[in-house]
């Protein structure tokens, strides 16, 4: 299936909670913006992490952070509101629609509707459906693992359920955009720890089996040191040396497990800073050489 704007690309970033996916999504967005691409970083949900990192309010409409780099925060209800307004063009009727108790109950009882609205917004630039989304790259800081699978399932389930009409047709077009590797990329972020690695291997397999998506994997916060384990063991009576030995051993074990499960993956170092801005800048420098060319 062909789409009106196939020059725009979407990158979806997911992973187990706490693995650093938000920082990596922001780092990716900064990489593409520095490469000269007008880039939108999309935060999903009702609360913003990036407003603290970039010290600026993040709203539904894109906020310019620096040249060619913008951030927006989209929730299911805000995307659904925009979709309804685009159809009927009368703001008061939209407000009445969402204030109606019956409709609010229906929306709460049908979570896939909000997820479909979010994906509809994310893919709207490629499909040229709805308000203009004038960006070269859309980087999505996606939901964590389980919710991310439910998000991708929304247009698939709706397309199967509704065979005709605009809702079924739009669901199929959303599904097709997300399933085309030349239009949509997927990254799973993990840590070199047992539970995140196991979950990442399982998620990659599920994305391939259910959505025909070949997700790339990023192993974050890898402790990198030129000191060998043998050298460190000379100082095993010291607590810090013991920590380093144990960390290197555990991370080597988990990266081996990851390699067996997914083969190739990108590694990123542990950044020693409590500043989100410094972490993102450092990760963007690391990713600039590792992400495929724009």
* Tens-digit pLDDT string for the chain (294 aa): 899 999 999 999 999 999 999 999 999 999 999 999 999 999 998 889 999 999 999 999 999 999 999 999 999 888 887 776 666 555 665 555 556 665 565 556 556 788 988 999 999 999 998 888 999 999 999 999 999 999 999 998 887 777 777 778 888 999 999 999 999 999 999 999 999 999 999 999 999 999 999 999 999 999 876 566 666 566 555 676 677 778 888 999 999 999 999 989 999 999 989 999 999 999 999 999 888 754
Sign of the Cα pseudo-torsion (240, 245, 251, 254, in order): negative
pLDDT (0 to 100) of residue 294:
42
pLDDT of amino acid 92: 60
Q: Would you say domain 9-222+263-288 falls under CATH 3.20.20.120? A: no
Q: What is the pLDDT of residue 1?
A: 81
The domain spans of the chain are: 9-222+263-288
**What is the arrangement of strands in the sheet containing 9-15, beginning at the earlier edge strand?**
63-66, 69-74, 39-44, 137-141, 9-15, 184-190, 216-222, 266-269
pTM score, two decimals?
0.90
């Amino acid at each position: 299936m062909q789409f009106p704007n196939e020059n725009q690309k979407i990158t979806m970033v997911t992973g187990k909670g706490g693995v650093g996916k938000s920082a990596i999504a922001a780092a990716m967005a900064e990489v593409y913006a520095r490469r000269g691409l007008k880039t939108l970083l999309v935060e999903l949900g009702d609360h913003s992490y990036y407003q603290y990192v970039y010290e600026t309010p993040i709203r539904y409409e894109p906020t310019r952070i620096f040249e060619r780099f913008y951030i927006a925060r989209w929730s299911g209800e805000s995307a659904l509101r925009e979709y309804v307004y685009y159809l009927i063009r009368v703001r008061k009727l939209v407000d009445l629609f969402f204030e109606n108790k019956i409709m609010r109950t229906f929306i709460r009882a049908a979570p896939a509707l909000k997820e479909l609205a979010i994906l509809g917004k994310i893919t709207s630039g490629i499909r040229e459906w709805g308000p203009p989304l004038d960006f070269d790259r859309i980087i999505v800081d996606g939901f964590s693992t389980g919710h991310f699978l439910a998000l991708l399932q929304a247009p698939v389930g709706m397309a199967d359920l509704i065979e005709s009409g605009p809702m079924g047709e739009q669901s199929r077009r959303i599904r097709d955009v997300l399933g085309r590797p030349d239009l949509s990329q997927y990254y799973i972020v993990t840590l070199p720890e047992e539970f995140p690695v196991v979950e990442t291997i399982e998620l990659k397999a599920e994305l391939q089996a259910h959505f025909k998506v070949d997700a790339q994997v990023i192993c974050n916060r890898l402790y990198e040191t030129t000191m060998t384990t043998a050298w460190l063991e000379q100082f095993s009576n010291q607590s810090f040396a013991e920590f380093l030995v144990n960390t290197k051993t555990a991370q080597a074990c988990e990266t081996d497990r990851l390699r067996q499960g997914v083969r190739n993956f990108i590694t990123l170092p542990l950044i020693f800073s409590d500043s989100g801005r410094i972490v993102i800048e450092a990760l963007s420098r690391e990713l600039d050489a590792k992400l495929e060319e724009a």
